[in-house]
Amino acid sequence: MLEIKNVYKTFTRKGITIEALKGVSLKVEKGDIFGVIGYSGAGKSTLIRLANYLERPTEGQVFVDGFDLGEYSANELREAKKNIGMIFQHFNLLESKKVFDNVAIPLVLLKKSKEEIRQRVTELLEFVGLSDKAGSYPSELSGGQKQRVGIARALATNPSLLLCDEATSALDPQTTQSILQLLKRINAEYNITVLIITHEMSVIQEICNKVAVMEEGKIIEQGSVLEVFGHPRHQTTQNFVKTVIHNELTASVQQSIKAEHGRRLVKLHFLGESTTEPVLYEMVRAYDIKFNILFANTTEIQEKTLVTMILQFSGEAAEIGKALEFLEQHEIGIEEVDDNVFDHSNR
Amino acid sequence: MFSTTVTGEQFMQAIIETIQMVGISLFVGSLIGIPFGILLVVTRPGGVLENRAVYAILNPVINIVRSLPFIILLVAIVPFTRFIVGTSIGTSAAIVPLIIYIAPYIGRLVENSLLEVNPGIMEAAESMGATPFQVIRYFLLPEAVGSLILSLTTATVGLIGATAMAGTVGGGGVGDLAIVYGYQRFDTVVVIATVLILVVLVQGIQSLGNTLARKIRRY
C-alpha cells in the first residue's frame, strides 16, 4: 500500500541545515490503521507529508501501491493524490465556503457534474453525521464538526489511503473519541488504509493495529500495537506506554521494598493466551519459590487483554532463574526492575 | 464674505471628473494590479508556481514605481501619456499616470491580502492535487475576497488623493478646483466645500468597502 524506503529529508533555511528524517523506512499494508507517534520535532509531520509528496525526500523513495512517487510527472502526481485523502490538525477548511462547498471542492476540481457532486456530498455528510450542517459556514461549527467536514472532504474522491496529520490534537478527549470511532468505521466499512501521526498514545491504543515510534528523525521501534505496548524496548516508547498504561509501583510500596534487599523484582507482561492460563499457579507448583504481587493492571488493546504485574520473588537465586525461564516459555514478557529506578521516579 | 465665483455646475462637473478619473484608473489599475499581486504570491519562493526570474523582476519594478511621488510620476511620463492618449493635458491625460501610479500599489495590496490566506489551506489544496490555476481560482482568491475588497478600498482612497494633483496637467476634478479657485484666488468657500466633498467621498467609499468585506467574510 504505502512503503517509505530509507528516506532522508534535510531542510535548509537561512543557511541552517536541519535533518528532519535520517533514514526512515516503514511499510503500511492494505487495511492497516498505522500510527506514528513521537514528540514534537521528531520528524513525524515531515514523514506523513512524504506519503503524498507534499514533501519530497532528499534521498530514498516513497511507493504508493508499488509505484515510486518520485518517478511521476507533475500531472501523474496530481492524479495519484486523488487516491490519497488527508486531514489536518487545524482542519484547513475554506472559511469563505459553506460546509457543502467545502466537501464538494475535490469533486469540483475533477469537474464532476453538479448532480453527481450533490449526490456524493449529501452521502458523505450523512456518513459523518452532518447532514443538517450543509448550509453552515465552518466558523459556525465546533472543532469536532470541523474535523468531520475535513474527513468528508478527504473521502470525496474515494481514496484508498487516508493520512491523518495530528487530526485529534486540537480536540477535547470526548470529541477525540468520536473522531477516532469515525476513522475506525472508515477503515472497516470502506476498507481505507489509514496512516495517523500523533503525540497521544491513547490514539494509538484506541484504533491502531500497528505503530512506529519516532525520535530525532528516526524510527526507534515499530511493530504491532500489541507487541509494542506489551514489550516496549526503547526508553521513549516506555514513556509513551506509561501515559496510557499505568505500570509503576506506588510510592509507598517503593519505600517498603527499598528496605528489603536480596530479593528480585520483575515486571511481567501477559499477552493474549497467557492471560487466560493459570501460569503463575503452575510456576509455584513446579519451583520452590515464593512471590508477592506488588502491582497488577489490566488494559485492553486491539480487543485483546494486556496484563502487567510486578512481582517480588524470594528463594534460591537459581530456582528463581528457572522460574523466570518457565514464564518466558509461556510467552510472558519479563523485565527486570532495578531498585535504582525508584530513586529516579521518587525525585 | 461667504461669496464665491464658482457655480454649483462647476462643482458638479468637478465631482464627475474626479469620479471618472478614480473609476477608470481603479478599473484599469485593478486589471493590471490584481494579476501582478497574484503573480507576486505564486512565483515567490515556496509559491505554487515558484519562478525566481519572474519574482526577481516584478518585485523591484513595483518597488521602483511605488517609490515615485505621484506629482513626479505625472510629469516624468508625459511623453508616454502623449503616445497613449494623443495629448498630455486634460482628464484622459491624467488617467494614464493615475493607472501607472495605482497598478503597482494595488499589486502590493493584493499580494498582502493573498499572503494572509492560511497556509494550511494551500497545503490542503496541494494534497487534493489541485493544479496551480485551481489553487488560485478555488482556494486563494475565495479565501482572500474580504481582504481584497478592503485593499481595493484603500487603493481607491489613495487614488482620490492623487487625482487632486491631476490639475497640474489640467485634469480637472475636485482637487483642481480647490487649487485653481480656492488657493490661487483666495476663495475660502471653495476650499471648504472641496474639503467637505472629499471627506464625504472618502468616508462613503471606506464604509462601503467595510460593509462589503464584512458581508463577504461572515466571520
Tell me the per-residue pLDDT of A273-313, one tens digit each, with 9 for 90 and over: 777 788 888 888 888 888 888 888 888 877 778 888 888 88
Which of A243, A267, A291 terminates a domain? The answer is A243
Question: pLDDT (tens digit, 9 = 90+) per residue, A94-136?
Answer: 998 999 999 999 999 999 999 999 999 999 999 999 999 999 9
Q: A336: distance to nearest CA of chain B, Å? A: 47
pLDDT at A344: 43
Residue in chain B lying closest to A83 (CA) = B128
pLDDT at B155: 94
Same domain, A224 and A105: yes
Q: Which domain holds residue A288?
A: 245-345
Same domain, A208 and A265: no
CATH label of the domain that carries residue A117: 3.40.50.300
Residue B169 has pLDDT above 80, yes or no: no
- Note whether B143 contacts A94, CB cutoff 8 Å: yes
Q: A92: distance to nearest CA of chain B, Å? A: 5
Same domain, A206 and A193: yes
Same domain, A239 and A249: no
- Note whether A108 contacts B138, CB cutoff 8 Å: yes
Torsion of CA A49, A52, A56, A61, to 10 degrees: 110
Residue B120 has pLDDT above 60, yes or no: yes
DSSP label of A295: E
Choose the weakest-confidence range: B34-38, B118-122, B168-172. B168-172
pLDDT at A312: 86
For residues B164 and B15, give the distance between their C-alpha atoms in angstroms, rounded to a whole number.
11
Domain count, chain B: 1
pLDDT band at residue A339 under the 50/70/90 scheme: low
For residues A96 and B208, give the distance between their C-alpha atoms in angstroms, rounded to a whole number.
20
B129 interaction partners in chain A (CB closer than 8 Å): 77-82, 109
Q: Are A10 and A17 in contact (CB under 8 A)?
A: yes
Torsion of CA B79, B84, B88, B93, to 10 degrees: -130
Specify if B63 maps to a domain: yes
Which of A243, A266, A298 terminates a domain? The answer is A243
pLDDT at B45: 87
CA dist list (Å): B150 to A135, B15, B154, B213? 26, 23, 6, 7
Taking the model in full, what pTM does it have?
A: 0.81
Same domain, A114 and A195: yes
pLDDT at B108: 95
Question: pLDDT (tens digit, 9 = 90+) per residue, B141-158?
Answer: 999 999 999 999 999 999
Q: A82: distance to nearest CA of chain B, Å? A: 6
Specify if B1 maps to a domain: no
Burial degree of B200 (CB within 10 A; 0-12, 13-18, 19+): exposed
Choose the weakest-confidence range: A3-12, A109-118, A239-248, A284-293. A239-248
Q: Which domain holds residue B176?
A: 8-217
pLDDT at A146: 94
For residues A196 and A183, give the distance between their C-alpha atoms in angstroms, rounded to a whole number.
10
Same domain, A218 and A283: no
pLDDT above 90 covers a percentage of chain A that reads: 39
Q: Are A181 and A173 in contact (CB under 8 A)?
A: no
Same domain, A254 and A190: no
Question: pLDDT (tens digit, 9 = 90+) per residue, B22-76?
Answer: 999 999 999 999 999 999 999 998 888 888 999 999 999 999 988 888 888 888 8
- Using alpha carbons only, how large is chain A's radius of gyration in Å? 24
Specify if B2 maps to a domain: no
Can you read off the three cell numbers belonging to residue A78? 496530481
Can you read off the three cell numbers belonging to residue A96? 469563505
pLDDT at B140: 93
pLDDT at B60: 93
Which of A185, A214, A243 terminates a domain? The answer is A243
Same domain, A265 and A213: no
Residue B9 has pLDDT above 50, yes or no: yes
* Beta strands A210-215; A33-37: pairing state: parallel
- Note whether A109 contacts B127, CB cutoff 8 Å: no
B86 compared with B26, residue with greater pLDDT: B26
Residue A345 has pLDDT above 50, yes or no: no
B6 phi, psi to nearest 5 deg: -85, 130
Choose the weakest-confidence range: A210-224, A263-277, B99-113. A263-277
Same domain, A205 and A288: no
- Note whether B129 contacts A82, CB cutoff 8 Å: yes
**A191-202: average pLDDT:** 92
3-state DSSP of chain B:
CCCCCCCHHHHHHHHHHHHHHHHHHHHHHHHHHHHHHHHHHHHCCCCCCCCHHHHHHHHHHHHHHHHCCHHHHHHHCHHHHHHHHCCCCCHHHHHHHHHHHHHHHHHHHHHHHHHCCCHHHHHHHHHCCCCHHHHHHHHHHHHHHHHHHHHHHHHHHHHHHHHHHHHHHCCCCHHHHHHHHHHCCCCHHHHHHHHHHHHHHHHHHHHHHHHHHHHHHCC
CA dist list (Å): A154 to A77, A124, B185, B189? 17, 10, 70, 65
What sign results for the dihedral spanned by CA atoms B152, B154, B157, B161?
A: negative
A137 interaction partners in chain B (CB closer than 8 Å): 218-219
**B116-124: average pLDDT:** 92
Q: Are A179 and A168 in contact (CB under 8 A)?
A: yes
**A38-51: average pLDDT:** 88
Specify if B126 maps to a domain: yes
DSSP label of A39: -
Same domain, A182 and A223: yes
The pLDDT mean for chain A works out to: 87
pLDDT at A260: 61
How crowded is the C-beta side of A278, counted as CA atoms within 13 Å?
A: 5
pLDDT at B121: 94
Choose the weakest-confidence range: A165-169, A173-177, B6-10, B93-97. B6-10
Specify if B92 maps to a domain: yes
pLDDT at A262: 61
Same domain, A233 and A290: no
Nearest by CB to B128, which of A95, A97, A106? A106
Domain count, chain A: 2
Lateral strand order in the sheet of A264-271 = A289-301, A304-315, A264-271, A333-336
Residue B1 has pLDDT above 60, yes or no: no
Residue in chain B lying closest to A103 (CA) = B128
Specify if B96 maps to a domain: yes
CATH label of the domain that carries residue A277: 3.30.70.260
Choose the weakest-confidence range: A142-146, A255-259, A300-304. A255-259
CATH label of the domain that carries residue B106: 1.10.3720.10
Q: Which residues of B touch A (CB under 8 A)?
A: 118, 120-121, 123-124, 126-131, 134, 138-139, 142-143, 145-146, 216-219
Choose the weakest-confidence range: A144-148, A282-286, B8-12. B8-12
Same domain, A61 and A144: yes
Nearest by CB to A109, which of B120, B128, B218? B128
